[in-house]
Amino acid sequence: MTEFDRYLWAIGHIQRRRLLLTLLREPLIHIGELNIGEKQKEMLLVEVKHAHLPKLADHGFVDWYPEENRVERGSEFEEVEPLLRLLHNNQEELPEGWL
């Protein structure tokens, strides 16, 4: 897998995109404090904890502290940051449902 493929993989799922774009705006996220409904939060926590966060952490894009429900930018976050900024700055041009 090329480096660019790694970055595309990182943003390839809507939950990973949302998480990484949130980290673009805020370097630290407490998942329990996200401004979403409790049922959505519970579903998000299950999916993100078991599927996405471990993989993003393995790639170094995030640092994940499960006991605290805390996520921070990882050592490799700056590698994917230009792609995230491109998405963020051009969101009006992207198809509906991309986020």
| The 3-state secondary structure of the chain, one letter per residue | CCHHHHHHHHCCCHHHHHHHHHHHHCCEEEHHHCCCCHHHHHHHHHHHHHHHHHHHHHCCCEEEEHHHCEEEECCCHHHHHHHHHHHHHCHHHCCCCCC
The predicted structure's pLDDT at residue 36: 61
pLDDT > 70: percent of the chain: 87
Does 96 fall in a domain?
A: no
The label of the residue with tokens 């590698």 reads 79
Is the residue at 32 inside a domain?
A: yes
Domain annotation covers residue 61: yes
Reported as a single tens digit per residue, the pLDDT across 38-84 is 776 676 677 777 788 889 999 999 999 988 888 999 999 999 999 99
Half-sphere exposure of 71 (CA within 13 A, CB side): 28
Question: Residue 48's pLDDT is what?
Answer: 72
Handedness of CA 22, 24, 25, 30 (dihedral sign): positive
Give residue 18's domain range: 3-91
Q: Can you give the CATH number for the domain in which 24 is found?
A: 1.10.10
Can you read off the two tokens belonging to residue 22?
């949130």
Say if 85 falls within a structural domain. Answer: yes
Q: What's the chain's average pLDDT?
A: 86
Q: Specify the number of domains making up the chain.
A: 1
Domain assignment of residue 24, yes or no = yes
The residue among 59 and 33 whose pLDDT is bigger is: 59
